[in-house]
Amino acid sequence: MPQIIFLPHAEHCPQGAVIEASPGETIIAAAKRNDIDIEHACEMSCACTTCHVIVREGFNSLEPSDELEDDMLDKAWGLEPESRLSCQAVVGEHDLTVEIPKYTINQVSEGH
């Protein structure tokens, strides 16, 4: 069973976390099942960018993003080449290292 290593994030997992994921589940589903509450304003329907994550290791093991996800990612704060929406990134057979960005587009627009 693959693992997802979450790098430390002040709000969501201050110490970082290593969790088990099931192949075929999304990064956000695995995170939520392990009490890592990644923001998801659109209820995980690929209609916002609040669940944006950066896949630091294992990015190429993920299925490629589709056009809708790419369009949404273009609006994400802190976009990087390894950015994905965690509601769309499906875990495969390989371990992942994931960074939750410091801000989401909601936090930037609200002035946090």
Dihedral over alpha carbons 111, 26, 70, 107 (to 10 degrees) = 0
Q: State the number of CA atoms in the 13 A half-sphere of 71 facing the CB.
A: 5
77: phi then psi, degrees, rounded to nearest 5: -75, 135
Write the pLDDT tens digit of every residue in 33-59.
999 999 999 999 999 999 999 999 999
Q: Which domain holds residue 72?
A: 3-109
Cα separation, 12 vs 2, in Å, equals 21
Residue 83, strand partner residues: 54
Six-digit token string for 104: 């989401």
Counting the structural domains of the chain, the total is 1
Low-confidence winner among 9-13, 29-33, 47-51, 92-96 (lowest mean pLDDT) = 9-13
pTM (2 decimals)? Answer: 0.91
CATH of the domain at 8: 3.10.20.30
